[in-house]
Amino acid sequence: MNARSFFLTASVLLLASCRQDMHDPPRYRPLAASEFFGDGRASRPRIADTVARGGLRLDKRLYKGREGGALIDTIPMPVTRKMLERGRQRFDIYCSICHGQLGDGDGMVVQRGFRQPPSYHLDRLRRQPVGHYFDVITNGFGAMAGYASRVPVEDRWAIVAYVRALQLSQNATIDDVPAGDRSKLEGR
Ligand code: HEC
């Protein structure tokens, strides 16, 4: 036996005795069947009255837009330029198709026949507290579906802040512009 065939034979023997335990761990694929559990499901349902790690939502202002049952009228997060820009981007993606980019209610889907939403610039809606907008995005309103499954809580508030900015943009007067910035508007 030369050296080459000795090593070949030795490695074949070594590999053959190698156990596969670490390579094929016993596990279930998601939603697979199981004979171990009485209901035959490998994926276990959530246990009643428990909260998943990271899922505790005690802050009712942030998660419900309410305090003591009443809708709140201040945004429960710091409103920054970055947040407004995020809100504009999310609004343009999720809302403008129906509400229009200015919130007039003339989005493309409406032009194609979907029920027309009210303009955000109606007095009735301008007077609504921010909690109402959060609630409408979260739970839907009449013909409009809720967006809780697609838009996370922080993004919902960013959209609310941007809707407020849209409302101001359509109803602002020159007095709302800081004196130092008014000259920038001239000549436009
Ligand atoms: C598929 C079209 C559609 C989309 C997308 C949509 N809406 Fe609406 N929305 C409507 C319609 C239609 C109504 C009027 C519902 C009614 O009165 O039955 C409405 C109503 C509203 C109202 C007014 C509620 C009131 O008090 O009268 C607000 C505020 C609102 N939507 C915000 C949003 C925001 C914010 C988004 C994006 C996250 C959004 N909508 C996405 C169609 C849409």
**pLDDT tens, position by position, 87-105:** 999 999 999 999 999 999 9
Q: At 41, is the secondary structure helix, strand, or coil?
A: strand
What is the SS3 assignment for 123?
helix
Q: Which domains does the chain have, with CATH numbers?
A: 79-174 (1.10.760.10)
Per-residue model confidence as pLDDT tens digits over 37-48: 999 999 998 899
136 lines ligand 1 (CB under 6 A): yes
Query: What is the residue-wise DSSP string for 149-164?
Result: TTS-HHHHHHHHHHHH
Q: What is the Cα Rg of the chain in Å? A: 29
Quick one: residue 105, left, alpha or beta (phi over 0 = left, psi -120 to 50 = alpha)? left
Q: Nearest C-alpha to atom 37 of ligand 1 is from which residue?
A: 95
Taking alpha carbons only, the member of 91, 81, 78 closest to residue 133 is 91
User: Residue whose CA is closest, atom 42 of ligand 1?
Assistant: 144
Would you say how long the chain is, in residues?
A: 188
Res. 1 pLDDT band, cuts 50 70 90: low
Question: In Å, how far from its chain's centre is CA 181?
Answer: 35
Question: 92, 124, 136: which to mutate for ligand 1, most atoms within 8 A of CB?
Answer: 136
Q: Is 57 in the pocket of ligand 1 (CB under 6 A)?
A: no
- 3-state SS, residue 137: helix
Q: Is the CB of 95 under 6 A from ligand 1?
A: yes
Backbone angles phi, psi at 33, to 5 degrees: -80, 155
Among 20-29, 49-58, 145-154, the minimum mean pLDDT is found in: 20-29
The per-residue pLDDT for range 91-149, each reduced to its tens digit, is 999 999 999 999 999 999 999 999 999 999 999 999 999 999 999 999 999 999 999 99
Which protein residue has the closest C-alpha to ligand 1 atom 40? 95
How far is it, in rounded angstroms, from Cα 92 to Cα 111? 16
Atom of ligand 1 nearest to the CA of 156: 38
Is ligand 1 within 6 A of the CB of residue 109?
yes
Q: Rounded distance, CA 64 to CA 57, Å? A: 9
Quote the pLDDT of residue 10: 67
Which of 17-21, 64-68, 96-100 is least confident?
17-21
Residue 117 beta carbon below 6 angstroms from any ligand 1 atom: yes
pLDDT at 176 over 70: yes
Q: What is the pTM of this model?
A: 0.80
